[in-house]
Amino acid sequence: MKTQKRFTPDLLDRYRRLGRGKGTNEHYVPWHRVGRSDPASSGRSHLQHWRGRQRELLSDLEWVTFLFCTMIVGIADIREQFPLSLEESEHKLSPPDDSTIAGQYAGSLNIAMELQVKHPKVNGAGRSVNWVMTTDLLLTIRQPDGKLTLLAVAVKPNRAADKKRTKELLAIEYMYWKARGVRWLLVTPDLYDGLVADTLRNCVPWALGPQADEPGIDFVAMAADRLRGKSMTAALEYLAAEFGSQNIAQLALWQAVWSGRLPIDLRRGWRPHEPLALLDPAEFRLLNPITSGRSAWSC
Protein backbone atom coordinates (compact mmCIF):
# COMPACT_ATOMS: atom_id res chain seq x y z
CA MET A 1 0.00 0.00 0.00
CA LYS A 2 1.29 3.49 -0.89
CA THR A 3 2.32 5.51 2.16
CA GLN A 4 1.90 9.27 2.52
CA LYS A 5 5.13 11.18 2.11
CA ARG A 6 5.67 13.47 5.10
CA PHE A 7 7.82 16.43 6.02
CA THR A 8 11.15 15.65 7.69
CA PRO A 9 14.31 17.63 8.52
CA ASP A 10 16.04 15.93 5.59
CA LEU A 11 13.27 17.09 3.24
CA LEU A 12 13.66 20.71 4.39
CA ASP A 13 17.42 20.42 3.79
CA ARG A 14 16.67 19.20 0.29
CA TYR A 15 14.41 22.18 -0.36
CA ARG A 16 17.25 24.51 0.54
CA ARG A 17 19.70 22.70 -1.75
CA LEU A 18 17.20 22.95 -4.60
CA GLY A 19 16.87 26.72 -4.15
CA ARG A 20 13.25 26.61 -3.07
CA GLY A 21 11.86 30.05 -2.22
CA LYS A 22 14.45 31.83 -4.38
CA GLY A 23 14.13 33.96 -7.51
CA THR A 24 11.47 36.25 -8.90
CA ASN A 25 8.93 36.25 -11.72
CA GLU A 26 9.36 33.23 -14.04
CA HIS A 27 12.53 32.19 -12.18
CA TYR A 28 10.93 31.86 -8.75
CA VAL A 29 10.70 28.39 -7.19
CA PRO A 30 8.00 27.98 -4.50
CA TRP A 31 9.00 26.51 -1.14
CA HIS A 32 6.14 23.99 -1.37
CA ARG A 33 5.30 22.60 -4.79
CA VAL A 34 2.54 20.66 -6.49
CA GLY A 35 4.06 17.33 -7.45
CA ARG A 36 4.65 13.72 -6.56
CA SER A 37 8.00 14.53 -4.92
CA ASP A 38 6.35 16.77 -2.27
CA PRO A 39 3.92 15.77 0.49
CA ALA A 40 0.36 16.28 -0.71
CA SER A 41 -1.59 19.32 0.42
CA SER A 42 -4.81 18.87 2.37
CA GLY A 43 -6.88 20.48 -0.40
CA ARG A 44 -7.15 20.25 -4.17
CA SER A 45 -4.07 21.70 -5.87
CA HIS A 46 -3.96 23.80 -9.04
CA LEU A 47 -1.37 24.76 -11.63
CA GLN A 48 -2.20 28.16 -13.13
CA HIS A 49 -0.04 29.52 -15.94
CA TRP A 50 0.67 33.23 -15.57
CA ARG A 51 3.45 35.35 -17.04
CA GLY A 52 5.80 32.63 -18.12
CA ARG A 53 5.47 30.21 -15.21
CA GLN A 54 3.08 27.67 -13.77
CA ARG A 55 1.92 29.04 -10.42
CA GLU A 56 1.57 26.25 -7.86
CA LEU A 57 -1.50 26.73 -5.68
CA LEU A 58 -2.30 24.24 -2.94
CA SER A 59 -6.06 24.66 -2.59
CA ASP A 60 -9.19 25.98 -4.28
CA LEU A 61 -9.07 28.98 -1.94
CA GLU A 62 -5.49 29.81 -2.90
CA TRP A 63 -6.41 29.58 -6.58
CA VAL A 64 -9.36 31.98 -6.24
CA THR A 65 -7.30 34.39 -4.13
CA PHE A 66 -4.51 34.23 -6.72
CA LEU A 67 -7.03 35.17 -9.42
CA PHE A 68 -8.14 38.17 -7.37
CA CYS A 69 -4.47 39.18 -7.05
CA THR A 70 -3.88 39.08 -10.81
CA MET A 71 -6.56 41.77 -11.20
CA ILE A 72 -4.55 44.39 -9.29
CA VAL A 73 -3.46 47.32 -11.42
CA GLY A 74 0.34 47.40 -11.41
CA ILE A 75 0.82 43.78 -10.30
CA ALA A 76 4.42 42.92 -11.12
CA ASP A 77 4.95 39.51 -9.52
CA ILE A 78 3.23 36.95 -7.31
CA ARG A 79 5.38 34.49 -5.37
CA GLU A 80 3.42 31.61 -3.90
CA GLN A 81 4.47 29.57 -0.84
CA PHE A 82 7.06 32.21 0.10
CA PRO A 83 9.34 31.06 2.97
CA LEU A 84 9.85 33.20 6.07
CA SER A 85 13.41 33.50 7.38
CA LEU A 86 13.99 31.69 10.65
CA GLU A 87 16.79 34.02 11.71
CA GLU A 88 17.30 37.78 11.43
CA SER A 89 17.91 38.70 7.81
CA GLU A 90 17.97 41.44 5.23
CA HIS A 91 14.81 41.92 3.27
CA LYS A 92 15.09 42.46 -0.44
CA LEU A 93 11.94 43.71 -2.06
CA SER A 94 12.11 42.22 -5.52
CA PRO A 95 15.53 41.78 -7.12
CA PRO A 96 16.67 42.42 -9.82
CA ASP A 97 14.68 45.66 -9.52
CA ASP A 98 17.35 46.85 -7.06
CA SER A 99 14.76 47.90 -4.51
CA THR A 100 16.09 46.92 -1.11
CA ILE A 101 14.72 47.92 2.26
CA ALA A 102 17.93 48.45 4.21
CA GLY A 103 18.53 46.83 7.57
CA GLN A 104 18.13 43.57 9.42
CA TYR A 105 14.70 42.23 10.36
CA ALA A 106 13.60 39.70 12.94
CA GLY A 107 13.07 36.13 11.82
CA SER A 108 10.17 33.91 12.79
CA LEU A 109 12.10 32.41 15.72
CA ASN A 110 12.64 35.76 17.44
CA ILE A 111 9.06 36.81 16.76
CA ALA A 112 7.69 33.59 18.27
CA MET A 113 9.85 34.24 21.34
CA GLU A 114 8.55 37.82 21.63
CA LEU A 115 4.96 36.60 21.34
CA GLN A 116 5.68 33.81 23.83
CA VAL A 117 4.32 31.13 21.52
CA LYS A 118 5.91 27.87 20.45
CA HIS A 119 7.61 27.93 17.05
CA PRO A 120 6.61 24.93 14.91
CA LYS A 121 9.12 22.11 14.47
CA VAL A 122 9.46 19.03 12.29
CA ASN A 123 10.92 15.71 13.41
CA GLY A 124 12.43 12.67 11.72
CA ALA A 125 15.40 10.30 11.70
CA GLY A 126 16.36 11.33 15.20
CA ARG A 127 16.43 15.04 14.36
CA SER A 128 14.19 17.93 15.39
CA VAL A 129 14.48 21.23 13.52
CA ASN A 130 12.46 24.41 13.23
CA TRP A 131 9.77 24.35 10.59
CA VAL A 132 10.05 26.95 7.81
CA MET A 133 6.83 28.95 7.83
CA THR A 134 5.47 30.33 4.58
CA THR A 135 3.16 33.06 3.32
CA ASP A 136 0.67 31.81 0.75
CA LEU A 137 1.09 34.72 -1.70
CA LEU A 138 3.64 37.54 -1.74
CA LEU A 139 2.75 40.26 -4.22
CA THR A 140 5.05 42.84 -5.77
CA ILE A 141 3.10 45.87 -6.97
CA ARG A 142 4.40 48.76 -9.05
CA GLN A 143 2.82 52.01 -7.93
CA PRO A 144 1.94 54.81 -10.37
CA ASP A 145 5.18 56.61 -9.45
CA GLY A 146 7.18 53.50 -10.37
CA LYS A 147 7.97 52.53 -6.77
CA LEU A 148 7.70 48.85 -5.87
CA THR A 149 5.77 47.74 -2.80
CA LEU A 150 4.97 44.36 -1.28
CA LEU A 151 1.67 42.92 -0.09
CA ALA A 152 1.58 39.61 1.80
CA VAL A 153 -1.57 37.47 1.67
CA ALA A 154 -2.50 34.47 3.81
CA VAL A 155 -5.45 32.26 2.86
CA LYS A 156 -7.56 30.26 5.31
CA PRO A 157 -10.98 28.53 5.26
CA ASN A 158 -13.81 30.21 7.15
CA ARG A 159 -13.40 29.96 10.92
CA ALA A 160 -10.03 28.18 10.64
CA ALA A 161 -8.36 31.15 12.32
CA ASP A 162 -10.59 30.67 15.37
CA LYS A 163 -8.38 27.79 16.53
CA LYS A 164 -5.87 28.81 19.17
CA ARG A 165 -2.81 27.26 17.49
CA THR A 166 -3.73 28.67 14.09
CA LYS A 167 -4.07 32.12 15.65
CA GLU A 168 -0.60 31.79 17.16
CA LEU A 169 0.97 30.88 13.82
CA LEU A 170 -0.88 33.65 12.01
CA ALA A 171 0.30 36.11 14.65
CA ILE A 172 3.92 35.15 13.90
CA GLU A 173 3.32 35.67 10.18
CA TYR A 174 1.55 38.99 10.75
CA MET A 175 4.37 40.32 12.97
CA TYR A 176 7.01 39.08 10.52
CA TRP A 177 5.63 41.27 7.74
CA LYS A 178 4.74 44.16 10.04
CA ALA A 179 8.41 44.35 11.12
CA ARG A 180 9.31 44.76 7.45
CA GLY A 181 6.72 47.47 6.81
CA VAL A 182 4.69 45.15 4.59
CA ARG A 183 0.91 45.06 4.72
CA TRP A 184 -0.52 41.58 5.43
CA LEU A 185 -4.05 40.40 4.66
CA LEU A 186 -5.86 37.27 5.81
CA VAL A 187 -8.35 36.20 3.16
CA THR A 188 -11.23 33.81 3.89
CA PRO A 189 -14.25 32.97 1.69
CA ASP A 190 -16.43 35.15 3.95
CA LEU A 191 -14.69 38.21 2.46
CA TYR A 192 -15.97 37.76 -1.09
CA ASP A 193 -19.11 36.73 -2.93
CA GLY A 194 -19.07 33.11 -4.08
CA LEU A 195 -20.72 34.12 -7.36
CA VAL A 196 -17.72 36.36 -8.12
CA ALA A 197 -15.35 33.48 -7.43
CA ASP A 198 -17.37 31.24 -9.78
CA THR A 199 -17.16 33.85 -12.55
CA LEU A 200 -13.39 34.19 -12.15
CA ARG A 201 -12.86 30.43 -12.29
CA ASN A 202 -15.01 30.14 -15.42
CA CYS A 203 -13.41 33.05 -17.26
CA VAL A 204 -9.73 32.62 -16.36
CA PRO A 205 -8.82 30.80 -19.64
CA TRP A 206 -9.45 34.06 -21.49
CA ALA A 207 -8.49 36.53 -18.78
CA LEU A 208 -5.06 34.96 -18.26
CA GLY A 209 -4.80 33.38 -21.70
CA PRO A 210 -2.87 34.71 -24.71
CA GLN A 211 -2.50 38.46 -24.42
CA ALA A 212 -4.96 40.46 -26.51
CA ASP A 213 -3.49 43.54 -28.13
CA GLU A 214 -3.98 46.83 -26.28
CA PRO A 215 -6.01 48.49 -29.06
CA GLY A 216 -8.46 45.58 -28.86
CA ILE A 217 -8.83 45.88 -25.09
CA ASP A 218 -9.22 49.64 -25.44
CA PHE A 219 -11.94 49.11 -28.03
CA VAL A 220 -13.88 46.93 -25.58
CA ALA A 221 -13.53 49.57 -22.87
CA MET A 222 -14.72 52.33 -25.18
CA ALA A 223 -17.67 50.17 -26.29
CA ALA A 224 -18.92 49.85 -22.69
CA ASP A 225 -22.12 51.82 -23.31
CA ARG A 226 -22.92 49.69 -26.36
CA LEU A 227 -22.35 46.48 -24.39
CA ARG A 228 -24.37 47.58 -21.36
CA GLY A 229 -27.53 45.49 -21.05
CA LYS A 230 -26.54 43.06 -23.80
CA SER A 231 -26.39 39.36 -23.02
CA MET A 232 -22.90 37.85 -23.00
CA THR A 233 -23.79 36.06 -26.23
CA ALA A 234 -24.84 39.30 -27.94
CA ALA A 235 -21.84 41.20 -26.60
CA LEU A 236 -19.41 38.61 -27.95
CA GLU A 237 -21.20 38.55 -31.31
CA TYR A 238 -20.82 42.32 -31.52
CA LEU A 239 -17.10 42.16 -30.65
CA ALA A 240 -16.45 39.15 -32.88
CA ALA A 241 -17.84 41.10 -35.84
CA GLU A 242 -15.30 43.85 -35.06
CA PHE A 243 -12.31 41.56 -34.45
CA GLY A 244 -13.18 38.85 -36.99
CA SER A 245 -12.77 36.14 -34.33
CA GLN A 246 -14.88 34.84 -31.46
CA ASN A 247 -11.76 33.81 -29.54
CA ILE A 248 -10.13 37.23 -29.87
CA ALA A 249 -13.40 38.78 -28.74
CA GLN A 250 -13.38 36.56 -25.62
CA LEU A 251 -9.76 37.43 -24.83
CA ALA A 252 -10.26 41.17 -25.30
CA LEU A 253 -13.48 41.27 -23.31
CA TRP A 254 -12.25 39.37 -20.26
CA GLN A 255 -8.88 41.09 -20.22
CA ALA A 256 -10.72 44.42 -20.27
CA VAL A 257 -12.78 43.20 -17.31
CA TRP A 258 -9.71 41.88 -15.45
CA SER A 259 -7.90 45.21 -15.82
CA GLY A 260 -10.93 47.13 -14.58
CA ARG A 261 -11.47 48.90 -17.89
CA LEU A 262 -14.82 47.15 -18.35
CA PRO A 263 -16.16 47.03 -14.76
CA ILE A 264 -19.02 44.57 -15.11
CA ASP A 265 -20.89 43.07 -12.20
CA LEU A 266 -19.07 39.76 -11.67
CA ARG A 267 -21.95 38.46 -9.57
CA ARG A 268 -23.95 37.91 -12.76
CA GLY A 269 -23.02 34.22 -12.92
CA TRP A 270 -22.15 32.29 -16.04
CA ARG A 271 -25.48 32.18 -17.88
CA PRO A 272 -24.83 33.58 -21.39
CA HIS A 273 -28.32 35.07 -21.70
CA GLU A 274 -27.95 37.26 -18.59
CA PRO A 275 -27.49 40.98 -19.38
CA LEU A 276 -24.16 42.69 -18.67
CA ALA A 277 -24.48 45.18 -15.84
CA LEU A 278 -21.78 47.84 -15.54
CA LEU A 279 -20.59 49.09 -12.16
CA ASP A 280 -18.88 52.23 -10.99
CA PRO A 281 -15.11 51.49 -10.88
CA ALA A 282 -15.04 51.93 -7.10
CA GLU A 283 -17.92 49.49 -6.70
CA PHE A 284 -16.16 47.04 -9.02
CA ARG A 285 -13.03 47.15 -6.86
CA LEU A 286 -15.10 46.33 -3.78
CA LEU A 287 -15.91 42.92 -5.28
CA ASN A 288 -12.22 42.03 -4.85
CA PRO A 289 -11.01 41.51 -1.26
CA ILE A 290 -7.41 42.29 -2.27
CA THR A 291 -8.01 45.59 -4.09
CA SER A 292 -10.41 46.66 -1.35
CA GLY A 293 -7.93 45.70 1.40
CA ARG A 294 -10.32 43.52 3.39
CA SER A 295 -8.81 41.19 5.97
CA ALA A 296 -10.22 38.58 8.36
CA TRP A 297 -7.37 39.28 10.80
CA SER A 298 -7.88 41.42 13.88
CA CYS A 299 -5.16 41.84 16.45
Kindly state whether residues 243 and 126 are assigned to the same domain.
no
Widest CA span in the chain: 69
Q: Are 278 and 229 in contact (CB under 8 A)?
A: no
pTM, to two decimals: 0.93
**What gap in Å lies between CA 20 and CA 40, rounded to an integer?**
17
With residue 237 as reference, give the H or E element that holds it.
helix 232-243
Average pLDDT for residues 216-238, to the nearest whole number? 96
Question: Does position 1 have pLDDT exceeding 50, yes or no?
Answer: no
**What gap in Å lies between CA 180 and CA 12, rounded to an integer?**
25
With residue 215 as reference, give the H or E element that holds it.
helix 214-222
CA angle 193, 156, 183 (to 5 degrees): 90
Query: What are the pLDDT digits (tens) for 90-143?
Result: 776 655 555 556 678 999 999 999 999 999 999 988 899 999 999 999 999 999
Could you tell me the sign of the dihedral formed by the alpha carbons of 78, 84, 85, 89, in that order? positive
Kindly state whether residues 169 and 45 are assigned to the same domain.
yes
Average pLDDT for residues 11-20, to the nearest whole number? 93
Kindly state whether residues 67 and 115 are assigned to the same domain.
yes
How much is the mean pLDDT over the chain?
92
**What domain range includes position 204?**
194-286
Kindly state whether residues 180 and 216 are assigned to the same domain.
no
75 in any annotated domain: yes
Domain-terminating residue out of 167, 191, 215: 191
Percent of the chain clearing pLDDT 90 (strictly above): 80
20 in any annotated domain: yes
CA angle 194, 200, 201 (to 5 degrees): 90
Which of 14-18, 91-95, 257-261 is least confident?
91-95
Number of domains in the chain: 2
Q: Is residue 161 very low, low, confident or very high in pLDDT (cuts 50, 70, 90)? A: confident
Strand partners, 75: 141
Average pLDDT for residues 243-271, to the nearest whole number? 93
Kindly state whether residues 55 and 181 are assigned to the same domain.
yes
